[in-house]
Amino acid sequence: MAVAPPLQCTARGAPRPETQRMKGLFITFEGTECSGKTTQAQLLADRLRQLRMPIRLLREPGGTPIGEEIRHTLQHSHANAAMTPEAEMLLLNASRAQLVREVIRPALAAGEIVICDRFYDSTVAYQGYGRGLDPKIVQTVIDFAVGDTRPDVTFLLLVPHEVSEERRLARQATLPFIRDRMEEADRSFFERVITGYHAIAAAEPARVRVIDGTGDIQTIHNQIWALTLPLLKRGVFAT
């Protein structure tokens, strides 16, 4: 079995500096509410596990005990109604800084495939474009939180706002209601988030692969699988 050299690409396609070479593969999923990214992250993880690949499936905010507490504060806590955009952005990046150091870097160094349901593109789209925070400050805080830990590939699932709303209402009708502060924003906020995601994809087309999230689950999965396979063939996972 020929083993190809480890993956060494940064988000922008430039080789990682020697000191930061990681053996694993870092995949992130992004998208607006109810775009299907969580389902697709799970399907990809399941398929890779069936091939006996070492998988770490994570989510943001969250993914560590500290991060899950921050998630609760951000989304569900009764005490969060007055949260400012600045506090929100810093809490998200506190969760991220913890996740990167506690889980993602060790997993990548051990040669695992890390799949993360949201990462820093969410902050650019939601806090930068959505909340209107200064993009330079948002980027500085993200850079501080993640350092050189950048996704190799990002699957961005996009659905129009009406589709998000339809799916969210359908989900609410079947599940017990749990208040989520993030979902309380108005339509114009979510439209700015979509604009932000388009801008992110345009700026980094090699890393960010845009996927139409309105298709059926299996078709989207097949599309994501077709984009993932070449990465496996290039990396340490080549068989």
Nearer Cβ to ligand TMP, position 191 or 234?
Answer: 191
**154 counts as binding ligand TMP under rule CB under 6 A:** no
Total site size for ligand TMP, rule CB under 6 A: 12
In contact, 116 and 63? CB cutoff 8 Å: yes
**197 counts as binding ligand TMP under rule CB under 6 A:** no
Scanning residues 167 to 186, which ones bind ligand TMP (CB under 6 A)? 182
**155 counts as binding ligand TMP under rule CB under 6 A:** no
The one among 73, 98, 123, 228 contacting ligand TMP by CB under 6 A: 123
**118 counts as binding ligand TMP under rule CB under 6 A:** yes
Nearer Cβ to ligand TMP, position 61 or 151?
Answer: 61
Question: Which region, judged by CB under 6 A, interacts with ligand TMP, from 10-18, 119-127, 143-151, 152-160?
Answer: 119-127
- In the numeric block, the tokens 């996009």 are attached to 158
* Token digits of residue 54: 């070492």
Angle between helices 187-203 and 161-174 (to 10 degrees): 120
Scanning residues 56 to 75, which ones bind ligand TMP (CB under 6 A)? 59-61
β-sheet bridge partners, residue 59: 117
Q: What length does the chain have?
A: 239
Q: How many Cβ atoms from other residues are within 10 Å of residue 134's Cβ?
A: 10
Report, in this order, helix, strand and coil percent for the chain, each rounded to 5.
Answer: 55, 15, 30
* Token digits of residue 195: 């604009």
Q: CA 126, CA 104: separation in Å to the nearest integer?
A: 22
The one among 26, 29, 126, 155 contacting ligand TMP by CB under 6 A: 126
Burial (0-12, 13-18, 19+ Cβ within 10 Å), 94: middle
Binding mask 86-105 for ligand TMP (x = CB under 6 A): ------x-------------
Nearer Cβ to ligand TMP, position 92 or 100?
Answer: 92
Residue 200 CA to chain centroid, in angstroms? 13
Chain positions contacting ligand TMP, by CB under 6 A? 33, 59-61, 92, 117-118, 122-123, 126-127, 182
